[in-house]
């Protein structure tokens, strides 16, 4: 398996006709880390994933991978860069007429010249990784939704991708199977050291899975940074989203207008305050081994510590103690802030 790579997004904007999906999105996915992208329905999270792999072309901005700008490179280079990606689509996107073995082998047969014996070794390895050994002959229609997700994940892994994108992996799954899938994702990150980006609505996933969290809101990226920044944020949209409340800036079909949101929050008279308790991040299963990204991430977060809100600093220090890392005195940076570290952006109107 190749180690993950950094994905740098700068000033990205996407529209369909006159409808702006999101604009001026800037973030960096650190190599080998797990990042989650949250946001109300209809904010263009899936559109963002499709833009990352070149299926949709943004009007403005850049996406840098290995110093190549995917927005401006030629078709041949884009084809080569796409091989670095593995994608788990919402429904698994399996071919209904193929058994699981042939579904998972498909990318190897399509994009490589490997002999069938080698293909079989790779397919069986990936099926074992996702817990599907022995199910090679089953058709997608004969298995559960959770098994289809795992088969789609095995197929996403067969080309040893450096970047793996998950488009709402929890959709259609009950809480128990979502918990199993989240543990599988953590274990796979430990085994592959690939860069993961997960689009999800699931609050438990956002609280326990990622190293970093971003929030798409009001057609732009309102926040992106270490998980502790968003999970301890006092912003009303964060409290509403994490608590699943009706009152707040987010409406049924889209964001509410600012006057309505302000009126509701005034009527609640502070009752919107408060966040769920911060849950510990998931560790790999016993015997899987440590995630290599943990130490890299901790060094990176320490370097930006002095720029983070006090509540986030406290949560990071508590997490470091739990993981056995020595904390810097007073939560201050030991090495200074790097120029490319942007822990958070402010919400509109703040």
HEC assignment per residue over the chain: CCCCCCEEEEEEEEEECCEEEEEEEEEEECCCCEEEEECCCCCCHHHHHHHHCCCCCCCEEEEEECCEECCCCCHHHHHHHHCCEEEECCCCCCCCCCCHHHHHHHHHHHHCCCCHHHHHHHHHHHHHHCCCCCCCCCCHHHCCHHHHHHHHHHHHHCCCCCEEEEECCCCCCCHHHHHHHHHHHHHHHHHHCCEEEEECCCHHHHHHCCCEEEEEECCEEEEEEEHHHHHCCCCHHHHHHHHCCCCCCECCCCECCHHHHHHHHHHHCCCCCCCCCCCCCCCCCCCCCCCCHHHHHHHHHHHHHHHCCHHHHHHHHHHHHHHCCCCCHHHCCCCCCCCCCCCCCCCCCC
Please give the model's pTM, rounded to 2 decimal places: 0.85
Count the Cβ atoms, other than its own, within 10 Å of residue 24: 14
- Residue 110: phi and psi, rounded to 5, are -80, -35
Phi-psi region of 103 (alpha: psi -120 to 50; beta: other; left: phi over 0): alpha
The pLDDT value given to residue 63: 96
Give the model confidence (pLDDT) of 206-259 as tens digits: 889 999 999 988 788 888 999 999 898 877 777 777 766 666 666 654 554 555
| Angle at the Cα of 133 from the Cα atoms of 130 and 139, rounded to 5 degrees | 95
Q: Minimal CA–CA distance to 120: which of 104, 143, 135?
A: 104
Cα 301 from Cα 307, distance rounded (Å):
10
Q: Where are the domains of the chain?
A: 7-227, 293-324
pLDDT of residue 331: 43
**pLDDT at position 253, please?**
46
Cα Rg for the chain, rounded, in angstroms?
21
Would you state the pLDDT for residue 337?
Answer: 33
CB atoms within 10 A of CB 137: 10
Which residue positions in the chain have pLDDT lower than 50?
253, 256, 261, 264-265, 268-272, 329-350
Angle between helices 100-111 and 116-129 (to 10 degrees): 130
pLDDT of residue 336: 34
Please provide the size of the chain in residues.
350
Give me the CATH topology for the region 7-227.
Rossmann fold (3.40.50)
Nearest to 280 by CA among 312, 305, 315: 315
Determine the Cα angle at 186 with ends 181 and 191, to 5°: 120
Q: Listing from the earlier edge strand, what are the strands of the sheet with 19-29?
A: 19-29, 7-16, 60-65, 68-69
Give pLDDT, residue 251.
65
Which pLDDT score, from 0 to 100, does residue 277 have?
77
């Amino acid at each position: 398996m190749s180690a993950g790579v950094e994905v740098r997004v700068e000033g990205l904007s996407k529209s369909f006709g006159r409808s702006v999906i999101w604009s001026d999105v800037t973030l960096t996915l650190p190599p080998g880390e797990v990042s989650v992208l949250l946001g109300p329905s209809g904010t263009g999270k899936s559109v963002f994933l499709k833009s990352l792999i070149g299926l949709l072309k943004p009007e403005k901005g850049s996406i840098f991978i290995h110093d190549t700008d995917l927005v401006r490179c030629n078709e041949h280079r884009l084809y080569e860069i796409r091989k670095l990606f593995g994608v788990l689509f919402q429904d698994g996107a399996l071919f209904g007429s193929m058994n699981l073995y042939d579904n998972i082998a498909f990318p190897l047969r399509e994009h490589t010249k490997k002999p069938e014996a080698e293909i079989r070794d790779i397919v069986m390895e990936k099926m074992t990784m996702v817990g599907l050994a022995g199910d090679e002959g089953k058709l997608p229609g004969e298995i559960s939704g959770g098994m289809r997700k795992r088969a789609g994940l095995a197929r996403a892994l067969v080309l040893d991708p450096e970047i793996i994108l998950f488009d709402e992996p929890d959709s259609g799954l009950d809480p128990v199977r979502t918990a199993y899938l989240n543990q599988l994702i953590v274990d796979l990150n430990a085994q592959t050291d690939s860069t993961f980006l997960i689009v999800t609505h699931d609050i438990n996933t956002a609280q326990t899975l990622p190293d970093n969290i971003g929030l798409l809101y009001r057609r732009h990226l309102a926040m992106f940074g270490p998980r502790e920044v968003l999970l301890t944020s006092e912003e009303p949209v964060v409290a509403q989203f994490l608590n699943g409340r009706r009152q707040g800036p987010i409406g049924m079909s889209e964001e509410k207008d600012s006057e309505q949101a302000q009126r509701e929050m005034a009527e609640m008279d502070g009752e919107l305050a408060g966040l769920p308790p911060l849950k510990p991040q998931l560790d790999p299963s016993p015997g899987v081994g440590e995630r290599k990204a943990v130490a890299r991430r901790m060094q990176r977060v320490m370097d930006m510590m002095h720029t983070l809100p006090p509540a986030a600093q406290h949560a990071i220090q508590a997490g470091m103690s739990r993981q056995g890392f020595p904390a810097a005195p007073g939560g201050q940076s030991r090495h200074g802030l790097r120029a490319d570290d942007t822990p958070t952006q402010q919400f509109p109107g703040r």
